Each structure stands twice: as C-alpha cells, then as structure tokens.
Structure 1
Amino acid sequence: MKFLVVKNLKHDQHFKPILTGLLLFILFYIPSDFYVKAHSLGVTQNTLQSTLFGNDEEYLDPMQTSVFLENWHVEIFFMMMILLTLSAVFIRLSNHIKFDSYITHLTMICAFSSLLSLAGCFFLYPKLSFIYLGTFYLWHIGALYMVVTSLKRLYVN
C-alpha cells in the first residue's frame, strides 16, 4: 500500500501506472460482479427469490445453507478488498471535497447493508430482498463513480 506513503500520487511517475492498473481492474470487476450475480444469485426480485427459496413451478430447489454461507463469505472478502482499496485511492485523490466523503460513506454503508440484508433475507424475512437489491445496485453505482472520478483526477487535474 505504497500509495499511503507517496506524497503526490498525480506526479509520481513510477506509481501512476500501478494505480491506473488497479483502478482499471476495479472498473472491470464491478460490472463483472453484477454479471456473475445476475447469473448465479439473481438481480431481480423474482430471480433472487427463486434462487434462495426455490420455485415449484420451475422445479428449482432452494439454496442449501452451506452453499449460501460459502457464497456470502466469499462476497464479504471480495467486497472488503475492493472497497477498502478503492476508498483509500479515492480519498487520497480527492481535493477534500465534502461530497467525496458522502459518496465514500454511502457506498460503504450500502455494501455493508447489502450483506446484512441478504443474510436477513435468507435466514429471517424474505421481504428483505428489496433492501438487498437496492443497496446492491447503490454500492455498485457508488463504486463505479469512485473509480471513474479517481481515474479522471489522476490524469486530468
């Protein structure tokens, strides 16, 4: 995490390409994460409910608890790595704009809420899937904004 030590990220010739690569990786990760969720868990109310709880009309069995917990555990890890790294870069490149702080906080809160609401939906109350879907979309949009803004600030400002 050398970007925490480098004084000016925009003018460091050696580290700028590394940050660019990291940001481009995250830029490709976020849509691919959405694509994977769309085909594995579901990104609409009906597909999510069918995946988690099964569907008698389509002969779909409900998701096993062990499979759910494994997916949830992996999701926690990837989300944590992506968002913490992205937030560190985004905050270092921000010009102390209050809006940047709000976006960072909102994105983190939505990501955490999506994890909690997904578990709550599976174990407690299936109607929490609305909260999961809303916060899932919001944290992806917030992260995309952070990546694009970071790339712009790295090269334009």
Structure 2
Amino acid sequence: MKFIVSKKLIDNRALYLSVLWMLVFLIVALALNVTAKEINFGITPTQWVSTILGNEEEFIDPLGLNDLLLSLHTDLFGLILIFILITSLLIRTSRPKALKLIILL
C-alpha cells in the first residue's frame, strides 16, 4: 500500500478505475444472485412456501433440510464476502462519513 498517498481517488487514476470496476462487478454479482434466487425459490412468499414445503396439487416435492441448509450457508458466505469487499472499498475512499453510512444502510 505504499503507492497510496492520499485517499482521494481522483489523484490516482489507476486506483480510481480499479475501485470503480470492482464496485460495478460486485453490484452485478449481487443482482445476478438475486435473480438466481428468484428463479430457484420464486418471488412471492406463497411461491417460497410451495418450493420449500412442496405442493401436492402441482406435484412439487418438498426441499430437503440438507439441501436448504447447504444452499443458505453457501449463499450467506458469498454475500458476506461481497458486502465486506464493498464496505472495505467505501471505508478507504475520501467520501464524507454521513454519505458512507447512507450508502451502507
């Protein structure tokens, strides 16, 4: 980190581009994750219930507890890593603290 003299991204063009593209790719990854979950589980709570508990009328088998736990744990691990990366990028920028808090919340 010797090459970082100031937290102002405008002063260092290479750092600005790398932070910008990293944020773009992380946001795209979050959007794709949400889309994948919509495809797997559904959008409404009734679709979630029918996917997880099953539905005899539509011949949908219930989701096993092992499969559900595996899916949740892997997704939470990935999301936590993405949010940690976004937070670490925002902390290192020279934005006002109030703006950082608004973005993170």
Please state how far the C-alpha of 1:18 moved relative to its aligned partner.
1.4
Tell me what 1:49 maps to: 49
Please state how far the C-alpha of 1:53 moved relative to its aligned partner.
0.6
TM-score (norm. length: structure 2): 0.82
* AA in 1 matched with 2:48: L
How many angstroms apart in 2 are the aligned matches of 1:37 and 1:9?
37
Larger radius of gyration: 2
Please state how far the C-alpha of 1:55 moved relative to its aligned partner.
0.9
Please state how far the C-alpha of 1:27 moved relative to its aligned partner.
2.2
TM-score (norm. length: structure 1): 0.57
* AA in 1 matched with 2:89: V
User: More helix by proportion, 1 or 2?
Assistant: 1
Please state how far the C-alpha of 1:74 moved relative to its aligned partner.
0.9
How many angstroms apart in 1 are the aligned matches of 2:81 and 2:39?
22
* Residue segments in structure 1 that go unaligned for 5+ positions in a row: 107-157
Over the matched positions of the two proteins, sequence identity in percent amounts to 21
- How many residues align? The count is 101
How many angstroms apart in 2 are the aligned matches of 1:103 and 1:19?
15
Please state how far the C-alpha of 1:102 moved relative to its aligned partner.
5.0
CA RMSD in angstroms, aligned pairs only? 2.0
Please state how far the C-alpha of 1:92 moved relative to its aligned partner.
2.8
